[in-house]
Amino acid sequence: MSGYGKELDITRVLRDVMEAGVVTEGDLDPKTICAQGLEGAAVAGARLVLQVAMAAEVAAFLGRHRYERGGEKEGYRNGHRSRRLSCGSGSFDVAVPKVTGAAGRPFQMKSVQAYERTSEKIRQAIPQLYAEGLSTRDFGRALSPLWGAAGLSRSSVSRANQQLYDAFDAWRKRDLSGLKVLYLFLDAIHAKVRAGSQESEGVLVAHAILEDGKRELLSVRLGPRESEAAWKELLEDLERRGLKVPSLVVSDGCAGLIAAVKAIWPKVPRQRCVAHKMRNVLDRVPKKHQVRVKRDIAPIFHAPDLKQALAAVHSFLEKYGDLFPTACEVLARDITDCLTFYRFPEAHWKRIRTSNVIERLFREVRRRTNVVGRFPTERSALVLMWASMEQDRLRWRGVRMTPSLLEAAVKASVDLANNPIIVQAARKYLAAA
């Protein structure tokens, strides 16, 4: 009976499972199957195919069908054991055949592995659900059709989520020397990351636009109060992992962050987020005047070129210097860094004059972390935030990049070191203030 495994008669195998009582005529009745609806039909089909596949494995292993005698292979059928399985279509019971008496060559089922109760795709979905913000304690309710008898438990969920932890550990240590970073964005999000503490702490984030226009998340790490030391640790870690000096750093006005960038990369130009700057200015203006002040400040950051932007700065300070001196002082301070983007290719202005991309990302992270509430450990908080950001990063739009645009961006970075932007109106205003 050599080669019997390749010559199995599937009709005969189906008769085997019917003779064993694990499949009935009702299981094959089209009307009965269709009456169960799409999901029910899918489950019924999955169970039927699996029962036939297991019976075929046994017949191939023994070299004979049910009730047949003879053959060269030792062993015999010894009933079935019930097992509940779960797949993407739902849960169902199967009768797993048992084989005994096969001396020296134990029977190992391939279609259903030992102790397997849940499909690999479901196990792979668990870390995805965690990344979406579903806490472990919620899995029992959300996955109730698959829980318990189907093989899912708190321990199995924890084991599945360990995939996320392992992936995060590998990601945060990965080599960055192969990445060609053009624009580096730095920002922080605050969250309650420690059990037993009411204090929100900063999670420092670095992401980049690469020379090919793609975006890449580079670092997610704890930096409790966004101090200079914390930001320096992040930048030094990026350098240790091989990150090359970027052409531009984009950030908000955090003093510790700016000081760290100056200390690590003193010659790299900085772009301060203009959205943050506008909010800071408007915060110093009475609400009833904010609409018109916002209208007048917009031309500074949406001018067709640097020359007209400088003229808009002068015009704004002249118009509001006496009326809102504190707001004008806030605008004048660091205004040079707010205008850096004008030296870079115009095709990139929209992407580099603000940190809006990462701000939108943080809103999504907060939506997911709010579900969890307080994290049990610092590491669990970082893993969830990283997983959320990585998922969202896949939806980020890249930046148009051509050889000429790349050349212009790199040249602008070098030129700024030798020919910095000077805002005379701001210098005069700060000197007077």
Q: How far is CA 229 from CA 9, 39, 128, 204, 246, in A?
A: 72, 56, 34, 12, 20
Rounded-to-10 torsion of CA 357, 359, 363, 365: 80
- Is residue 370 over pLDDT 90? no
Could you give the angle at the alpha carbon of 177 between the alpha carbons of 175 and 179, nearest 5°? 100
Q: Are strands 248-251 and 215-222 parallel, antiparallel or unpaired?
A: unpaired
Domain match, 258 and 395 both: yes
Q: Is residue 302 part of a domain?
A: yes
User: Tokens representing 334?
Assistant: 């660091």
Q: Which of 25-39, 113-127, 176-190, 213-227 has the lowest mean pLDDT?
A: 113-127
**Domain stop point among 116, 143, 158:** 116
Query: How many structural domains is the chain composed of?
Result: 4
Model confidence over 120-158: pLDDT tens digits? 544 444 445 454 444 555 444 444 444 444 445 556 556
Note the pLDDT of residue 124. Answer: 47
pLDDT in tens, 309-344: 999 999 999 999 999 999 999 999 999 999 999 999
Per-residue confidence at 378, pLDDT binned at 50, 70, 90? confident
Q: Are residues 328 and 184 in the same domain?
A: no
Do 16 and 129 sit in the same domain of this protein?
A: no
Instruction: Please provide the average confidence, as pLDDT, over all residues in the chain.
Output: 80
Amino acid in position 161:
N
Question: Is the same domain home to 11 and 93?
Answer: yes
How confident is the model at residue 3, as a pLDDT?
38
pLDDT of 5 reads 44
Does residue 294 lie in a domain region? Answer: yes
Q: Considering the domain boundaries, does residue 217 fall inside one?
A: yes
CA-based nearest residue to 433, from 343, 321, 342, 351: 321
68 has a pLDDT exceeding 90:
no
Answer yes or no: do 344 and 412 share one domain.
yes
> Is there a single domain that holds both residue 338 and residue 386?
no
The CB-side HSE value for 208 (13 A sphere, CA atoms) comes to 21
Of the listed ranges 38-47, 95-104, 231-240, 387-396, the one predicted with least confidence? 38-47
Last residue of a domain, one of 116, 136, 154: 116
CATH number of the domain within which 211 lies? 3.30.420
Indicate whether 209 and 243 sit together in one domain: yes
Does one domain contain both 333 and 381? no
Concatenated DSSP letters for 330-350? HHHTTHHHHTGGGGS-GGGHH
Identify the helix (H) or strand (E) that includes residue 78.
strand 76-87
- Determine the 3-state secondary structure of 291 from DSSP: helix
In a domain, 325, yes or no: yes
| CA–CA distances in Å: residue 219 to residues 187, 232, 262 | 11, 13, 19
Cα distance between residue 173 and residue 56, in whole Å: 47
More confident residue, 223 or 35: 223
Q: Is it the case that residue 97 has pLDDT exceeding 60?
A: yes
Angle, CA 83 vertex, CA 78 and CA 84 arms, to 5°: 160
Q: Which residues pair with 209 in a beta bridge?
A: 183, 215
The pLDDT tens digits of the residues spanning 393-427 come to 766 777 899 999 999 999 999 999 889 999 988 88
Q: Quick one: 421 and 350 in the same domain?
A: yes
Indicate if 264 and 382 belong to the same structural domain: yes
Each residue of 253-293: pLDDT tens digit? 899 999 999 999 999 999 999 999 999 999 999 999 999 99
pLDDT of residue 430: 76
Residues of 262-280 as b/e, b for ≥16 C-beta within 10 angstroms?
eebbeebbbbbbbebbbeb
Separation of alpha carbons 182 and 403, rounded Å: 13
In a shared domain, residues 304 and 433: yes
Mean pLDDT of 221-237: 90
Query: Where residue 432 falls among pLDDT bands split at 50, 70, 90?
Result: low
Percent of the chain residues topping a pLDDT of 90: 40
> For residues 80 and 94, is the Cβ–Cβ distance under 8 A?
no
Whether 91 is covered by a domain: the verdict is yes
Residues 260 and 147 in one domain: no
Residue-level pLDDT at 371 = 65
Q: Which domain holds residue 161?
A: 122-171
In a domain, 361, yes or no: no
Last residue of a domain, one of 69, 96, 116: 116
